Each structure stands twice: as C-alpha cells, then as structure tokens.
Amino acid sequence: MSNGLNLVEPKVVPPLHPEFRPAALTNRAFVEAAEASGEAVPLIIGLEREEGLRSVYETQVYAPDSARAEANLSYTERLVKTLLWIRGGGKVVVGGPEEIGRHIEQVYSEYGARSFDGDLMGGVYEKPFTVEITDADAVGKPREQSVRIGRHLEGCRIGLDLGASDRKVAAVIEGEDVYSEEVPWDPKNQADPQYHYDGIKDAFDTAASHMPRVDAIGVSAAGIYINNRAMVASLFRSIPEDLFESRINDIFLNIRDTQWPGVPIAVANDGDVTALAGAMSLEDNAVLGIAMGSSQAGGYVDAEGNVTGWLNEVAFVPVDLNPAAPVDEWSGDYGCGVQYFSQQAVVRLAPAAGITLDESKGAPEQLADIQEMFAAGDERPRAIYETIGCYLGYAIAHYADFYDIRHLLIMGRVTSGKGGQIILKKAQEVLDAEFPELADQINMHLPDESERRVGQAIAAASLPEIS
C-alpha cells in the first residue's frame, strides 16, 4: 500500500523494472473495490477549456466516512493529472466529496506538488488556472467540439516535422513526396530565439527550392499549439518568458509572412499528426498515435476521423503509480510517460541491462549506440525493448479508459530497427494476459522505416486546406 492506494503488481513484469506498478491495474482495482464495498459515491470531474468547451469524466470513490476514504485523494490526484494532459483545461471542477476537492485545490496551488501543471495550463489557456468544488450533479454536461484536419494533398506543399533532436521536411507535389531531408538540431537547449527562427526558415526554404511554388505549409511540432500559435512546448523550454511571447508565440506565422504572405498554414501537435498519418495509411479512424522520440508525443483521430481539440500530451500522463518511479526533470513528477516511452527511457534502462554508455554523448547518440549494438548481435538491448513493451501494454489499457481506440500506431526513433517489433510483441503479450477484451479490440501498428521517418512530414503537409 502507498499513499492510501493498493498498488497492483503486474502479471507481466518488465524485466528491468520489477517495481513498475501500472496505473491501469491500480485504478481499475480501486473503482471495483469502492463499488463492491457498498460505500461508493459518484465523483465527476469537469475540465473547462477555450470557448466554453467542457470535458466530463465520471467515476466512483469511497464515501467520506469510509475507512478507505484516504485512498480517494491519491486516486483523484493522479486522475486529474491524467485528464488535464489528455483533455486539457484552464479550470477543473471537482464534483463530489469536499475533501477531495480541497485536496486537488491544494496540490494545484502555487506551492502545491502539481504547481507546474497548473502554471502550464494557465499558460495554455491564457488565464489563471482554477479549481472549483461542487456537488457531483452540478458539474454540467460535456460540450466537446471536433474538427476534420488534413488529408489535403493537392498543389505544392511544405510539410515540416519538428522534433527535439531532428527536424524533417518534405516537399510534396500533388500528394507525392518529391524531396525530403532530416537535419539534426538541438532546440530545447537553445535560449536564443534566432536559432529556432533560422532552423525553421531553413527547412521551409529547402523544401520550397524543390517545387515551382508554395501553395500551403503544414507543421507538426512537439508542444501545444492553438490557432497556429505556440503556447507551451518543450522545444522552446530554454527561451526566456519575455522572448517567448515576443519571438516564439507567432514564429511560424512570422516566417510564413516574410516568404509567402497569405499562403495557408496549419500548425498541429506532432502526436495528432502521427495519428493523422496512421488514419491516412490505414484508411480507418479511432487511431491513437504515440511517437517515442526525445519525449513522448500522443495524438488522436476519433471514430469520425476528426481531432478533438484535446491536448493529448501523454508525456505528462502518469503510467506508473509507484511513488519511487522515475521523475521527469521538467515537471518534477513521477511515473509519467516521458520516462517510459522516449530516448530517456532507453538511456535510463541501459545500466540495468548491463550497458555502459558514453556519458559525453547526448541521448540521441546514446540511443543510436544501443541500436547499433543490437543490430550487430549484442543481445543486451533486448531487455530494454521488452521492458518498454511491458510499459506500453499497460499504458494502452490506461489510455483506453479515456480514448475509443481501434488502432494504436507507434513511431519515433525508439521504435527504429529490431527494437520496435519487440516493443509491440511484448505489449501484445500484456494485453493478451491482462486485458483480453482490449486485445481483441485494438490493432497495433508499426510503420515501415521510410514511412516512420518522413511520413509525419507528409501528413503535416496535408494539414492546410487550399481555398
């Protein structure tokens, strides 16, 4: 037991991380136990976003006078954290026992444990983050809004995919990739906005030089973007706050205006573009895309083929409820996806696999070294990929509590080479053993190497509609 919660041990144990305690198992066990106790009461969480949009999530917790009521606090704190980064919200409405609402209010306060999350949500929605406490029946009804994006491939288009270790750009003419390139860069450690401006402009110019004209520009980038403006992004984490507002918020629009004023442009979260790329190639919908690179990106195309306007920032979603889980150095929180589905995860697990890495190298180069070892016949990296596969299987079940998923698509540098297939095989083993209903429902996909590396940029090129 920890923090009042009974942490459930997995049946399929990650070989390099036996202390892993999946959120999917513990959350299910908590709700089932509350309902079976005869002491359950409703808890309804509302998350209010821009223009009056509201997501609503309903669950059950123990009544305040129950001997198990202490567990409500940990369960709800992790649930609200998950909902904020999947759905988004500048305001959280806690409908249920007052003690729970007061706890959420405290941990998201200026000096609370989740102040980082509250501050970022305030930045995303450009107003102070707030928590409201009310009765379950007073939270209000959901008001969601989905829109169809992408799938436009006519004309001459630039597609740019910005990651934290490389940027990929494609020149696309009538749906055909006529040129693409991948350039290493290091944006998250660069405090000078000009570095970012020059890198993005160079990518645009390179693609444009391979086409007779530019009819549209699409950008896939890690972070949160609203109306083509950068709101919060780890790519720009080193930029001072005042320079972020003056130089970064409108960086894509400003570069467009200097070169091709009036040309349609669309900037989207890279996870949404991953899901869009999957939906386009699979010719189906209800696709959750996961990109495992320098961080973890997520995106979702719903059953109607639309994007929901949710944040889908799964890098911050807790997947491991063990308080001793690895901590993300940016948010300061434990057990979140970034430490489980990224280059950081591979590097973190390497010592447990008996691998000593060159510490003078960055994570991308260390990942490449591990991949080269594996390709050359060294079997030690296998345990790293099997461990990540275990993580993924349990995370899929966790995500399925918040998304309707028919297809799970994984991409990113971590999945390159032999490791990607091992990750998927182990994830399938977890679903078969623990969640057979999901094993029958969800199809997992790993794009081929070429599609993995430039497919994102081509999908990005399809984002803007030419009027």
Q: What is the mean pLDDT of residues 380-384?
A: 98
Q: Higher confidence at residue 449 or residue 72?
A: 72
Q: Can you read off the two tokens belonging to residue 104?
A: 């959420």
- 334-371, pLDDT tens digit by residue? 999 999 999 999 999 999 999 999 999 999 899 999 99
In a domain, 79, yes or no: yes
In a domain, 150, yes or no: no
Q: Provide the number of structural domains found in the chain.
A: 3
Q: Higher confidence at residue 455 or residue 395?
A: 395
Return d(Cα 189, Cα 192) in angstroms, integer.
9
Q: What is the mean pLDDT of residues 244-254?
A: 95
Range of the domain at 83: 38-138
Q: Does the pTM of the predicted model rise above 0.85?
A: yes
Other residues' Cβ atoms within 10 Å of the Cβ of residue 135: 12
Pair type for strands 40-48 and 91-95: antiparallel
pLDDT of residue 94 exceeding 70, the answer is: yes
Return d(Cα 202, Cα 344) in angstroms, integer.
28
Confidence of residue 452 (pLDDT cuts 50, 70, 90): low
221 shares a domain with 79:
no
The pLDDT value given to residue 443 = 96
236 shares a domain with 90:
no
In a domain, 146, yes or no: no
49 contacts 14 by C-beta, under 8 angstroms:
no
180 shares a domain with 133:
no
Strand arrangement of the beta sheet that strand 287-292 belongs to: 296-301, 287-292, 407-411, 443-445
Return d(Cα 160, Cα 205) in angstroms, integer.
11
In a domain, 20, yes or no: no
Q: Higher confidence at residue 265 or residue 275?
A: 265
| C-beta pairs of 360-365 under 8 Å, 24+ apart in sequence | 362/165, 362/186, 363/165, 363/294, 364/165, 364/166, 364/184, 364/294, 364/413
Return d(Cα 165, Cα 163) in angstroms, integer.
6
Closest alpha carbon to 230 in 205, 250, 214: 250
Return d(Cα 458, Cα 394) in angstroms, integer.
31
The pLDDT value given to residue 1 = 37
405 shares a domain with 358:
yes
pLDDT of residue 108 exceeding 90, the answer is: yes
The pLDDT value given to residue 275 = 86
- 41-62, pLDDT tens digit by residue? 999 999 999 889 999 999 999 9
Q: Pick the last residue of a domain from 222, 244, 272.
A: 272
Tally the C-alpha atoms within 13 A of residue 398's C-alpha that lie toward its C-beta. 27
In a domain, 262, yes or no: yes
51: left (phi over 0), alpha (psi -120 to 50) or beta: left
The pLDDT value given to residue 451 = 56
99 shares a domain with 230:
no
286 shares a domain with 402:
yes
Q: What is the mean pLDDT of residues 140-149?
A: 89
Other residues' Cβ atoms within 10 Å of the Cβ of residue 82: 24
pLDDT of residue 454 exceeding 70, the answer is: no
Confidence of residue 449 (pLDDT cuts 50, 70, 90): low
Return d(Cα 304, Cα 389) in angstroms, integer.
29
The pLDDT value given to residue 459 = 86
Amino acid in position 69: A
169 shares a domain with 51:
no
pLDDT of residue 456 exceeding 90, the answer is: no
Q: Can you read off the two tokens belonging to residue 339?
A: 């430490």
The pLDDT value given to residue 447 = 81
Average pLDDT along the chain: 93
Q: Pick the last residue of a domain from 93, 108, 138.
A: 138
440 shares a domain with 366:
yes
User: What's the sign of the alpha-carbon dihedral 15, 19, 23, 28?
Assistant: positive
Looking up residue 255, the CATH number of its domain turns out to be 3.30.420.40
354 contacts 369 by C-beta, under 8 angstroms:
no
- 127-136, pLDDT tens digit by residue? 999 999 999 9
251 shares a domain with 187:
yes
162 shares a domain with 307:
no
pLDDT of residue 182 exceeding 50, the answer is: yes
In a domain, 310, yes or no: yes
C-alpha angle 249-112-224 in degrees, rounded to nearest 5: 20
Return d(Cα 133, Cα 453) in angstroms, integer.
46
Closest alpha carbon to 465 in 133, 217, 93: 217
Q: Can you read off the two tokens belonging to residue 63?
A: 């009544």
In a domain, 26, yes or no: no
Q: Higher confidence at residue 460 or residue 2?
A: 460
pLDDT of residue 215 exceeding 80, the answer is: yes
In a domain, 325, yes or no: yes
197 shares a domain with 51:
no
319 contacts 23 by C-beta, under 8 angstroms:
yes
329 shares a domain with 210:
no
pLDDT of residue 161 exceeding 80, the answer is: yes
Q: Pick the last residue of a domain from 82, 103, 138.
A: 138
pLDDT of residue 446 exceeding 50, the answer is: yes
Say which residue the tokens 């180069």 belong to: 365
